[in-house]
Structure 1
């Protein structure tokens, strides 16, 4: 331990934990001793990139919003920013499965409202009645600002109608959050929709106001095109993890170290107990601890330290998912794989939630003469898929592709990735629960949480969460030790 500087323990080696460790290890002079404890035998958490027979397979997230400031700053420092790929031209656009057929989403969706009249008029995703009901959104009065949360389903049905909810909002939200929109908190998942209603009176009105604002901008203002929305490193998402790990030379990274308890160490410190695969226990004393693990796991770790804090952490439910990656010979795939893939509404009654056409979405995901697809299974009400063997999960995914895309060939590659209790459910009242959690954490200076269970599920949000946690830790260290930020 650096003289007079308390050590820091980061629990969890996912993207949030690695970001926190990186920021803390470089954030002060002298630098504190930082230890990362990861229960698994690898770093990265839900980010898992594999190179198999020329295929670049993503077991978890395949992209991120790199334009968000914390992610942009990190990728620049890691010298990855210049290696980010935009979506291929052929991989732009998404479809929705409706009645067994793929229906492309209308172009120019803005807050679930199509901004291009021609595309909206031509779409076969909605019936004439559904289109009229969506257009009627312009006249739907705004719900008063009473400070209460509501579900995404409630908001969508109220403003857009049942049909648009079932055929557009539900599959999109389920694909993003692996959750039931009837339970999802609007304030925690899509607050911009409620903000648009309150500021402009509705979503169509907000879209029209934005169009007027864009038209009023000068030529200089619009000279530079906006950055691509979703991007991916050339070498896959694992490239970010590898770059972070390579810059943690001063950090003690321990794999196979499962934390069992975080206890009060006295004198403003914490005792972190961990066990390795052989059952040997290690106890570390730290001036600050970052819990960058699912909140349910964090709850178990602090149960003895503070039962009320543990209860607050346990308030977020999690669901499980499965990703099945399948590679095929191009000449055995009759369907033109244009777009990024398709989403499956719950009303279709299928096992799959979505299918991503990976080799159409980003370059370099499959060797010449091959295509790569990913089928997403599981989620709320479908977690039973985890009980099935890999062979059956591959069979389920193949049936999906055969029924929808007509692909009946034998795959040249198959990989199954199981993710147990990894997708936090931001149910109604999520932000109120976070406020209560913050109050409990305030009683434990130096104890910080980070990750997808709090303020965003995406990779960019987790990077931001790790950066924020690091800032909190550094502020704490400045208050109790002779350090300064460079």
Structure 2
């Protein structure tokens, strides 16, 4: 080792930072000084579990992709495998044109491989356009990128974008098809296009994953708070509440204000914040990172009486050409059996998309009333909630804009010149919890390799 007592600062106490701290503790052992700095009053970043009166409920991310290995493996390490639960198997709906419609089947993030899949959502002219698309001239430059909206609207029309694609992308990125790039958000589609697909229809058909047995998603019975607490305890780090205000080289190590000198640093913060800290290290990398924009959102959680006639569906997505303020409804007590067992209904109403974040700053009471009004519009439910909670996520989700993969590659390539400095977070290789666990693990592994040689 470079020192008998290596020291590492992790800036950011979200899931990426906590995983990094935990991995560092496991690899460096009890002798290491590991410090986590976070300016929030609580750890967990965009993950948060609250008690709404009947038990815990997640008001940030609530699920993980069960077919990725990162989260199940991490839970197994921490002795939390028995916390894993799976959805009830109900499908979501889409609110469009003043009515509830089934979610199109056989699509790739809402992009259809046939006109039949979106028949309930679009007009006859659009259906004819989709059906004729394979015969229309098509050009795609291998390795190029564009927004999802640009590609889909040109080939299938605007109705497909607003009524099928936008609702799904909004749930993942709090963004719009026009702000999200094909290559970063839909890598299998980009691969099919690069391979020479003769039409968008052919590319989607090639990119749609083959159904496999088993649930797609999982969750934690007692919420992500259980995982956050376990990581915090297992990391055995010093947790400092405050803001890291500066970062610079310090001999063979790094100096972090206000901590002082450390052997290594992991920046597990949103891209704009990482850019500020990197400004004194490399102006070019900082400039590139500062260009990654963020979307803000809000979640209103409602606890409703058990006799309420909630639709037998997992949720309701909202078309962007619909006359609603909310962008989505998660019917949590329908979606998750362990929540249904409580005897009451739990609904999460989501607000805010990229470029329209003003809704997020409305007063709590106003957001709750908007949530109730929109829920009444789509379901007819008028009952008073027994409890409610408003959670705002300012700058919660990065926008994976066209060219995002190249931007990240350039940043990561530039970072290799700085021994003992790594980045992590949802702005790198995916916004989901498994992706954040992966980048936190990668950052910690690289730091271990640096301080242990």
TM-score, normalization: structure 2?
A: 0.91
Alpha-carbon deviations, 1:398-447, whole Å to 9, x = none? 11111111111111011000111121111122122223322432332211
Q: CA RMSD in A?
A: 2.6
Give the SS at the match of 1:228: coil
- Tell me: CA distance 1:320–1:364, structure 2 relative to 1, closer, same or farther (3 Å): same
**Shift, 1:252, TM fit:** 2.2
- Alpha-carbon separation, structure 2, partners of 1:80 and 1:71: 10
Give the SS at the match of 2:327: strand
Q: Which residue of 2 aligns with 1:293?
A: 269
Alpha-carbon deviations, 1:214-242, whole Å to 9, x = none? 7xxxxxxx9xx633111101111222212
Q: Which residue of 1 aligns with 2:160?
A: 164
1:93-104 correspondence to structure 2 within 5 Å: 93-104=91-102
* Stretch moving more, 450-459 or 72-81: 72-81
Q: Which residue of 2 aligns with 1:234?
A: 221
Give the SS at the match of 2:9: strand
**Shift, 1:72, TM fit:** 3.4
Q: Which residue of 2 aligns with 1:151?
A: 147
- Tell me: CA distance 1:139–1:33, structure 2 relative to 1, closer, same or farther (3 Å): farther
Q: Which residue of 2 aligns with 1:179?
A: 175
Q: Which residue of 2 aligns with 1:259?
A: 244
Q: Which ranges of structure 1 fall in alignment gaps of 5 or more residues?
A: 215-221, 275-282, 480-486
- Alpha-carbon separation, structure 2, partners of 1:168 and 1:397: 22
Whether the 8 Å contact between 1:354 and 1:377 is mirrored in structure 2 is yes
* Stretch moving more, 393-402 or 239-248: 239-248
Q: 1:420 aligns with which of 394, 400, 417?
A: 394
**Shift, 1:140, TM fit:** 4.6
Alpha-carbon deviations, 1:88-133, whole Å to 9, x = none? 13xx21111112211111334356466799x738x52233333333
Whether the 8 Å contact between 2:104 and 2:110 is mirrored in structure 1 is no
**Shift, 1:148, TM fit:** 2.0
- Alpha-carbon separation, structure 2, partners of 1:261 and 1:321: 28
1:306 aligned to 2:302?
no
- Tell me: CA distance 1:141–1:5, structure 2 relative to 1, closer, same or farther (3 Å): farther
Whether the 8 Å contact between 1:343 and 1:353 is mirrored in structure 2 is yes
**Shift, 1:330, TM fit:** 2.4
Whether the 8 Å contact between 2:109 and 2:168 is mirrored in structure 1 is no
* Stretch moving more, 67-76 or 291-300: 67-76
- Alpha-carbon separation, structure 1, partners of 2:166 and 2:56: 30
- Tell me: CA distance 1:372–1:30, structure 2 relative to 1, closer, same or farther (3 Å): closer
Give the SS at the match of 1:422: strand
- Alpha-carbon separation, structure 2, partners of 1:49 and 1:74: 19
- Alpha-carbon separation, structure 2, partners of 1:88 and 1:22: 32
Whether the 8 Å contact between 2:52 and 2:389 is mirrored in structure 1 is no
Alpha-carbon deviations, 1:251-303, whole Å to 9, x = none? 2233x23211112222x2111113xxxxxxxx232111001011111222233
1:437 aligned to 2:405?
no
- Alpha-carbon separation, structure 1, partners of 2:103 and 2:52: 32
- Tell me: CA distance 1:76–1:139, structure 2 relative to 1, closer, same or farther (3 Å): farther
**Shift, 1:180, TM fit:** 2.2
- Alpha-carbon separation, structure 1, partners of 2:214 and 2:247: 42
Q: Which residue of 1 aligns with 2:339?
A: 365
Whether the 8 Å contact between 1:54 and 1:366 is mirrored in structure 2 is no
- Alpha-carbon separation, structure 1, partners of 2:117 and 2:403: 34
- Alpha-carbon separation, structure 2, partners of 1:478 and 1:229: 38
* Stretch moving more, 375-384 or 77-86: 77-86
- Alpha-carbon separation, structure 2, partners of 1:403 and 1:29: 56
Whether the 8 Å contact between 2:192 and 2:206 is mirrored in structure 1 is no
Q: 1:188 aligns with which of 167, 184, 188?
A: 184
Q: Which residue of 1 aligns with 2:63?
A: 63
- Alpha-carbon separation, structure 1, partners of 2:243 and 2:337: 37
> How many residues in Structure 1 have an aligned counterpart in Structure 2?
452
**Shift, 1:363, TM fit:** 2.2
1:390-469 correspondence to structure 2 within 5 Å: 390-469=364-443
Whether the 8 Å contact between 1:196 and 1:203 is mirrored in structure 2 is no
TM-score, normalization: structure 1?
A: 0.86
- Alpha-carbon separation, structure 2, partners of 1:111 and 1:359: 24
Q: Which ranges of structure 2 fall in alignment gaps of 5 or more residues?
A: none
**Shift, 1:244, TM fit:** 1.5
Q: Which residue of 1 aligns with 2:253?
A: 269
- Alpha-carbon separation, structure 2, partners of 1:73 and 1:2: 31
Q: Which residue of 1 aligns with 2:298?
A: 322
Whether the 8 Å contact between 2:142 and 2:193 is mirrored in structure 1 is no
Give the SS at the match of 1:364: helix
- Alpha-carbon separation, structure 1, partners of 2:378 and 2:205: 36
Whether the 8 Å contact between 1:327 and 1:373 is mirrored in structure 2 is yes
* Stretch moving more, 462-471 or 235-244: 235-244
Q: Which residue of 2 aligns with 1:41?
A: 41
